[in-house]
Chains A and B, each alone.
With several copies, the nearest count.
Chain A
Amino acid sequence: MSIFERKQEARTPFVKVVEVSEISTDPEPWGLNFPQQYEDYLQTVNDSYTDFGGNHALPPSKLEEHPWLKRLFAGYAFSIDYREARGHAHMLSDQEVTRRVTEVQQAGACLHCHASIIPTYRRIGLQQQGGEVTAERLAESFDQPAVMAGFEAVSQKNYEDVHAELTKTPDGVVQAESGDPHLGDAHPVSCIDCHDPETMAIRVTRPGFILGMDKLAKSDDPVPHLPSVQKWRDSGAQGDYDPNTHATRQEMRSFVCGQCHVEYYCASKMTLTYPWSNGLKMEDLEQEWDETTFSDGEAFYDYVHKETGTKVFKAQHPEFELWSQGIHARSGVSCSDCHMPYEKRGATKVSSHWVRSPMENINKACQTCHHFPEQDLKQRVDLIQQRTSDLIERAATAMTDMLDAIVAAQASGASEQQLKPIRDLQRKAMWRLDFIASENSKGFHASQESARILAESVDYSRQAIAACYKLDSASTETE
């Protein structure tokens, strides 16, 4: 695949101005070694929604933009507060202030993707093993078993408690003062989350992702866009699939993002889970939730839909999964190719660490591969997104009509038995709509697949409506 060859050029060895280690969650010291990347990274504070330059006003509410979302999420925290996402610099503070956190008790697992939490996991994991945990020991190595243990330990704890743990982990910058438990600051995603501090190689650190990828590798989902998985399977599927040892560099350029930009379960009834046992397609994920039971034996669900009483699933930002179904993934194009394109800076090329919408950087993000004028490329994306948005609105209309029909059927006394198949249709319809609506590329990451999923959503919503009306006429007939 010649288009990627040049990306595989060797890096010139870098000169370390300061030492960074496995506890260096603060990006500032890294910035002394890599000023360009750090400078870019700091740009993620900019936000096209609010003022440029780090204004911290919250981004627009999706609930107000799309009022049907309130009905979709009725009875769930998302119906209280749900906003446009923005740059990485905001991830921790946006989570701290969302009314989903301030008004609802959330789990500590939320921080898995919103903070530079790995040294904290390691510390807690090591502490469980009983040893004394000094800053030196923490800094020594990544120690995956300890990280996993810590992750398991805090996943179902309260959000506030886990948040407090962050500042108890030494970060090599904050100096401990006697009697002050504050040993490090809490940071949003930081260099250490994607880079090995010794070699600067990219790596993945998130337990949820590592476990998820292992499940995926052990499934029989054909994943032509992930050749290392196929290779691992072909060579006998020994032990566990580990992205950090098995994946190609090009795969890693997507995996670092797949650590967080995925569908998950994250609440108090189960450890944080990425539902990839059957594969990465929308149906595969649904099947895993369908087949999951909580420890108390109850069937898995995310929330009880308030208007109708149906137990339903919530889809969250499945960028990695949708991208996997698209032509870019199939052609070996990684998240980083578009969201962190190479830029010439003086005599060298660096990856833009201003992770953002490629549409703000079409020249570098797209024109390396597509030799069409910027305006043309923008129009292509607009067209794909417009088609998707139109279908989302169509599916949303069907969905709200469905809610009305179910509510009416319940009002006219439909039995639970009669409602059972209708609730199944409702769950499917809502899952599909949410899957594409909560994905953040408005269909771009896999244009036909997005339309297909929305078509199914419409189908199930409208089937549910017809079934309600049928009940209705059946019941009136027998009245």
Chain B
Amino acid sequence: MMSDEESQRNDRELGDAEGSDKEVPDDSSPGRGKFWGGRRFGRGAIVFALCLGLLAGLGVFTFGYGKGASYMSNNPETCVNCHVMQSHMDSWLQSSHHQVAVCNDCHLPHDFIGKWVTKADNGFFHSLAFTLGGFKDPIQIKPRNRRVTQGACIDCHQDLVHPLLPETAGGDMLMCVHCHTSVGHAAR
């Protein structure tokens, strides 16, 4: 696992929006900063997110839409239940990965625990954001979710990208999207 120092180094990956997410106040989404930002997560917060998230994943916040539970499925259509993600869907359909990866292949960790924690956590926050509005448009991925996608790329392309891996575990490496900006979906 990464030490805190190393993960920060990783976050500083040049040119990536996340590099300065600490400095740039995200004024468009009040109430979210309290919970957000992987590095600031304590154990308590994780448990909290887990509980609330599971609840949310079951559709508490979005029950009115009647589609909240579909979040647990693997079908890309379920993501676009929220029209805010229509453009991602549309361009995913035209992307190089359309045949090989659905949303969850990239946006969920490939190990069991991580997968469910992330689902719960994102389920909560997506629902909250969708219900309350006030999220950034175009949507901007958070540093922690960006690490999830990075992990997904590596998982599938492990052999190919061998030279990009750090010399020592937890070391610094380039974000794949630094170069492959339109893999997955060009439009945001």
Contact, chains A and B (beta carbon distance below 8 A): yes
- Which A residues fall within an 8 A CB radius of B? 1-12, 199-201, 225, 227-228, 231, 248-251, 330-334, 337, 342-344, 347-351, 363-364, 367-369, 371-376
How far is B20's CA from A225's CA once the two chains are assembled, in angstroms? 12
- Which B residues fall within an 8 A CB radius of A? 1-4, 6-7, 9-10, 12-17, 19-21, 23-24, 28, 38-39, 41, 46, 83-84, 87, 90-91, 94, 109, 111, 113-114, 117-118, 121, 136-138, 140, 144, 147-148, 150-151, 154, 159-174, 178-182, 186-188
Chain A nearest CB: distance from B73 CB in Å? 22
Q: Are A363's CB and B170's CB within 8 A? A: no
How far is B140's CA from A176's CA once the two chains are assembled, in angstroms? 54
Closest to B46 in A: A3
Q: Are A248's CB and B160's CB within 8 A? A: no
Determine the chain A residues whose CB is within 8 A of the CB of B167 once the complex forms. 10-11, 199-201
3 pairs of A and B residues whose beta carbons are closest in the complex: A332-B15, A332-B14, A6-B151
Determine the chain B residues whose CB is within 8 A of the CB of A10 once the complex forms. 165-171
Q: Are B163's CB and A372's CB within 8 A? A: no
Contact of A250 among B2, B113, B174 (CB under 8 A): B174
**A248-B23 CB under 8 A given contacts A4-B118, A8-B169:** no
**A4-B10 CB under 8 A given contacts A249-B173, A332-B178, A344-B84:** no
**15 A-B pairs with C-beta separation under 8 A:** A3-B46, A4-B148, A5-B91, A5-B94, A5-B186, A8-B154, A9-B169, A10-B171, A248-B14, A250-B13, A332-B14, A349-B160, A367-B188, A368-B180, A376-B17
How far is B84's CA from A145's CA once the two chains are assembled, in angstroms? 45
**A368-B38 CB under 8 A given contacts A344-B137, A347-B160:** no
Contact of B172 among A249, A331, A342, A349 (CB under 8 A): A249
Q: Are B169's CB and A4's CB within 8 A? A: no
How far is B15's CA from A199's CA once the two chains are assembled, in angstroms? 26
How far is B38's CA from A5's CA once the two chains are assembled, in angstroms? 8
SS of A interface (majority): mixed
Closest to A329 in B: B14
Chain A nearest CB: distance from B158 CB in Å? 8
Q: Are B137's CB and A364's CB within 8 A? A: yes
Determine the chain A residues whose CB is within 8 A of the CB of B161 once the complex forms. 348-349
Q: Are A9's CB and B165's CB within 8 A? A: yes
Q: Are A11's CB and B28's CB within 8 A? A: no
Chain B nearest CB: distance from A358 CB in Å? 13
Q: Are B87's CB and A6's CB within 8 A? A: yes
Q: Are B24's CB and A375's CB within 8 A? A: yes
Chain A nearest CB: distance from B183 CB in Å? 10
Q: Are A225's CB and B24's CB within 8 A? A: no
How far is B5's CA from A285's CA once the two chains are assembled, in angstroms? 34
How far is B188's CA from A344's CA once the two chains are assembled, in angstroms? 13
Q: Are A4's CB and B117's CB within 8 A? A: yes
Determine the chain A residues whose CB is within 8 A of the CB of B169 once the complex forms. 7-10
Closest to B152 in A: A6
Contact of B136 among A7, A347, A351, A363 (CB under 8 A): A363
**A2-B165 CB under 8 A given contacts A7-B1, A231-B12, A372-B17:** no
Chain A nearest CB: distance from B179 CB in Å? 4
Contact of B165 among A5, A8, A251, A372 (CB under 8 A): A8
How far is B46's CA from A23's CA once the two chains are assembled, in angstroms? 50
Chain B nearest CB: distance from A4 CB in Å? 6
How far is B150's CA from A11's CA once the two chains are assembled, in angstroms? 16
Contact of B173 among A8, A227, A331, A371 (CB under 8 A): A8
Q: Are A3's CB and B114's CB within 8 A? A: yes
- In this complex, the member of A1, A5, A348, A376 whose beta carbon has the largest number of chain B beta carbons within 10 angstroms is A5
Determine the chain A residues whose CB is within 8 A of the CB of B173 once the complex forms. 8, 249
Q: Are B162's CB and A248's CB within 8 A? A: no
Q: Are B163's CB and A350's CB within 8 A? A: yes
How far is B1's CA from A444's CA once the two chains are assembled, in angstroms? 41
Contact of B24 among A249, A349, A373 (CB under 8 A): A373
Determine the chain B residues whose CB is within 8 A of the CB of A344 once the complex forms. 84, 137, 160
Determine the chain A residues whose CB is within 8 A of the CB of B187 once the complex forms. 2-3, 5-6, 368
How far is B170's CA from A327's CA once the two chains are assembled, in angstroms? 30
Q: Are A199's CB and B168's CB within 8 A? A: yes
